[in-house]
Structure 1
Amino acid sequence: MVDQFPDGFLWGAATAAHQVEGGNVNADMWAAEWAPGSRFAEPSGDACDHYHRYPEDIATLAGLGLNAYRFGVEWARIEPEEGYFSRAALDHYRRMVGTCLEHGVTPVVTYNHFTTPRWFAAAGGWNGTAAVDRFARYAARLTEHIGDLVPWVCTFNEPNVISLMVHLGLIPAAAREDGLGLSGDTDSQAAQSGGSWPAADVAVMAAAHRKAVEAIKSGPGNPAVGWTLALIDLQPADGGEQRWTATRQAAELDWLDVSRDDDFVGVQTYTRERIGPDGVLPVPEGVATTQTGWEIYPQALGHTVRLAAEHTRVPVLVTENGIATADDDARIAYTAAALEGLAGCVADGVDVRGYLHWSLLDNFEWTSGFAMTFGLIAVDRTTFARTVKPSARRLGEIARAGRLP
């Protein structure tokens, strides 16, 4: 098997604004964390103070040998009240992009990673009548300010997440036992979380995405634009074929269809789920699991990358893949096996543009608080001191070599 990755391959790590920045007080999620009876284990608070410490974090990433950083900009900071755009916040994110470029790091910028401004959530969130236009206006203003420097843009992070939750009863990037604090029917989800999660309906999010793409493509700059999808490796168990077909269609394929008109599709994969006649089956007895309770199954990445490439026929960028564990040796082993699957895709001619590990930092994992450690870098909860883990150095070595050891 060819273990070499193409020249120009993006090797990096990812974060989300709310999960690392701290002090995101104008976001719907902040309100949800502090609401009476909140399902969040703890509030995000100062998070990793990445808002102020990003120069150190980007320098560390570059020093490891990584050449790409996917990070989110926070809509609630940029447009804290409807129609008012903060020049200071826009300048902050332009400086972040500039810092990446100074270090030879390719910035991959996510315009919306779950959180929205409080005013947007209060107006009905993604089910509000003006949601599509509001997001496009924000995308246009942001692009106006940073577009000339940014080569890769993700409009939305995992817009299919609620659809997945509805069809599977799980959530891809938070503790699965309570799925981001959401439960029950989709109409009540935003109200229960105090936030504005993506609409379960692909048509709503696709419309917002398309209009935002149009705004971003108006310039300045000419970034590759796409969105990222949560792609669990769904597998049919005996008797579950019919349910598997329906679930995969609604929660993954319908969303991948939208990416056919994009420059790339972002694939975010952590594990597999086996579907029986009555739904998702429990993790097999005796199989190792992560802190989130997911099966450790690194082969999932190669499977979902192939699915995304075949279904969309556009280039694939792995925008998230990782493991919640306190055992860094397990992280090293998981990443190596996932990359082996990815190398197999490349060897078979799949157009894969990069691998961005989740996450750069041990961060705020939504309802689970800070208990889930996905990071390549540990963060002291009191002093914010960073400690680079061996897994970060190992990924950097692979990145520098451009091939698996």
Structure 2
Amino acid sequence: MSGWPGRPRRPRPVRVPRLVRSLAVRLLSVAVLIAGLLAAPSAYAASGPATLQFPPGFLWGVSTSGFQSEGYFPDSNWTRYADRRANGVTDPYGNSVDFRHRYPSDLKLAKGLGVNVFRTSIEWARVEPRKGYRDPKALAYYDDLIRRIKANGMRPMLTLDHWVYPGWVADQGAWDNPRTQDDWLRNARFVVDRYKDQGVIWITFNEASAYIYKELTTRPMDLGQMLEMRDALLKTHRAAYDMIHKVDPGAPVSSNVAYGTAINGIFDAALFNDAADKLDFIGIDYYYGANLQNFTAVYAITGEFWKIDPEPEGLYYVLKNYQRRLPHLPVYVVESGMPTDDGKPRKDGYTRSDHLRDHIYWIQRAMADGVKMMGYNYWSLTDNYEWGSYRPRFGLYTVDALTDPTLERRPTDAVPTYRSIIANRGVRSGYVPVRKPGWCSIEDPVATCLGTTPTPPAAYRAPA
């Protein structure tokens, strides 16, 4: 966008050449690693039980988002990106997995897992498709959705912004325009006021760093616009935190941070670093890590997430490190999961069940070493539209969105596994992870490169 009414045009900053950006990222990654080797304290305690059972009342959940799963979506930045096949968009959106009409049965599937939290987003584009007009049908849908979440014994975790905004916001300049901050807060206050006093856990912005990156690559934006968006998200989150506590006193509020391995410092700078005083819990999304034996996390750049070799033990270090930074706050894994390539088994035999158990094991190790865990959400209940493609399959229930007109929900092997983990409050005592820890983890170089890693289980079993 070149400008908007009432604001003078400004010169566009010069775009940074791709090669320069690539070299800068590589140099920063090396710097982060060296800094970690020199300064990072050990993540491991020398004593304590190997694992600790999850406490009664622990929050077990599943995560999803409105745009990615609802279908029948109104005009928005992301329907436009999908229509014009923006950078990274390979599949048409269609109607995704039609959560908009299938939510009663999907909530039954979630209830059958034994979860007590259901996370989704209240989509601004659906609630206010035209500025100043709130769609009564959309409100009736969200009213019933939240009523049914609670009726199925689950607590709503509601995200106010999961990277999607109305088309009219895009037309006024999106986050380039300071008016968007006021419009966003006006809508947020309406939503919070409507669903206050219902035990909601509020998320303001989902993964601010990834939000900015997606806008940078699909919109696209230049460096100046990216920095403007970063400042706008930070200011808006801080204002939203205060507003929510006034409108819905006692409701916990956070903004979940995406963990980003070697460049995690950049990810944290998007919002987390300057919003630590406006968080009621540390929300972490963990999908992959890296170590000197495993640099496959680079496939996240290309969107080929199924090619990444998981690093379950990295979650332990991530939890410990964030807890050390904010020791007064509890920690919630807001998203964690494993993609497969269009639903096909991984070539190494590592299953969704293996992945789930291994990550839960390392969370239990972190709890045993002092991390104050509040909750864990699996991403996601069903497969959905992964920001331009249906190929990455994250669902506990798989759905062939492009080829199956019935959109049948078919359980994966992780459904009984998650049900068992919840019922037994963790993996069994003596569980041996399938995935053996790698050497010299980016998540904590001192602990893993210099010989202060934990005593591992006696043996690691190979995938079946």
With normalisation by structure 1, the TM-score equals 0.82
User: C-alpha displacement at 1:134, in angstroms?
Assistant: 1.4
Q: Cα offset for 1:387?
A: 1.3
2:312 aligned partner, one-letter code: P
Q: Counterpart of 1:11 in 2: which secondary structure?
A: strand
Alignment pair present for 1:49 and 2:63: no
Tell me how far 1:135 sits from its aligned partner.
Answer: 1.2
Question: In the superposition, relative to structure 1, how do residues 87 and 308 fare at CA in structure 2: closer, same or farther (>3 Å)?
Answer: farther
Alignment-derived partner of residue 386 in structure 1: 409
SS at match of 1:116: coil
Change (3 A) 1:20 1:248: closer
2: distance between equivalents of 1:372 and 1:210?
Answer: 33
What is the aligned partner in structure 2 of residue 40 from structure 1?
Answer: 89
For 2:371, give the aligned amino acid.
Answer: V
Match of residue 159, structure 1, among 208, 218, 236: 208
Secondary structure, counterpart of 2:107 in structure 1: helix
- Measure the CA separation in 2 of the matches of 1:36 and 1:232: 26
CA–CA separation in structure 2 for the residues paired with 1:59 and 1:282: 36
* Residue 33 to residue 283, structure 1, CA distance change in 2 (3 Å): closer
How far apart are 1:59 and its partner, in Å? 0.9
Partner of 2:312: 298
Match of 1:297, as an amino acid? E
Find the partner of 1:145 among 173, 181, 194. Answer: 194
Tell me which amino acid in the other structure corresponds to 2:338: I
2:54 matched to 1:5? yes
How many residues are treated as equivalent by the alignment? 364
**CA distance in 1 between partners of 2:143 and 2:313 (Å):** 37
Distance 1:79-1:330 versus aligned 2 partners, 3 A rule: same
Structure 1 or 2, whichever has the larger Rg, is 2
| Amino acid in structure 1 at the alignment position of 2:250 | N
Aligned position for 1:244: none
The change in CA–CA distance for 1:2 and 1:55 in structure 2 (over 3 A counts) is same
> How far did 1:221 drift?
5.4
* Cα gap change, 1:318 to 1:389, in 2 (>3 Å): same
Q: Structure 1 residue runs of 4+, over 6 Å off?
A: none
Indicate whether 1:327 and 2:345 are aligned.
yes
Q: Which residue of 1 aligns with 2:268?
A: 252
Classify 1:327/1:304 alpha carbon distance in 2 versus 1 (closer, same or farther; 3 Å).
same
Equivalent residues of 1:147, 1:222 under 8 A apart: no
Q: What is the aligned partner in structure 2 of residue 168 from structure 1?
A: none
Q: Which amino acid aligns with 2:104?
A: P
The structure with the greater share of residues assigned to strand is 1
Match of 2:140 in 1: 91
Shift of 1:312: 2.8
1:30 maps to 79
* Alignment check: 8 A CA contact 1:360 1:375 kept: yes
Query: Structure 1's 202 and 389: CA in aligned 2 closer, same or farther, altered over 3 A?
Result: same
Answer yes or no: is the 8 Å Cα contact 1:233–1:304 preserved in 2: no
Contact preservation (8 Å) 1:3, 1:404: no
| Cα distance in 1, alignment partners of residues 335 and 172 from structure 2 | 31
Deviation at 1:233?
Answer: 3.1
Counterparts of 1:38 and 1:60 in 2: how far apart (Å)? 34
5+ long unaligned stretches in structure 2: 1-49, 429-464
RMSD of aligned Cα (Å)? 2.8
Deviation at 1:217, TM superposition (A): 1.9
| Mapped partners of 1:273, 1:125: distance in 2 | 34
Which amino acid letter does the alignment assign opposite residue 258 of structure 2?
Answer: A
> Is 1:80 aligned to residue 129 of structure 2?
yes
Counterpart of 2:351 in 1: which secondary structure?
Answer: helix
Are 2:216 and 2:222, in contact at CA under 8 Å, matched by a contact in 1?
A: no
Per the TM alignment, residue 274 of structure 1 is displaced from its structure 2 partner at its CA by 5.9
TM-score for the superposition, normalised by structure 2:
0.72
C-alpha contact 2:178 2:232 (8 A) present in aligned 1:
no
2:441 equivalent in structure 1? none
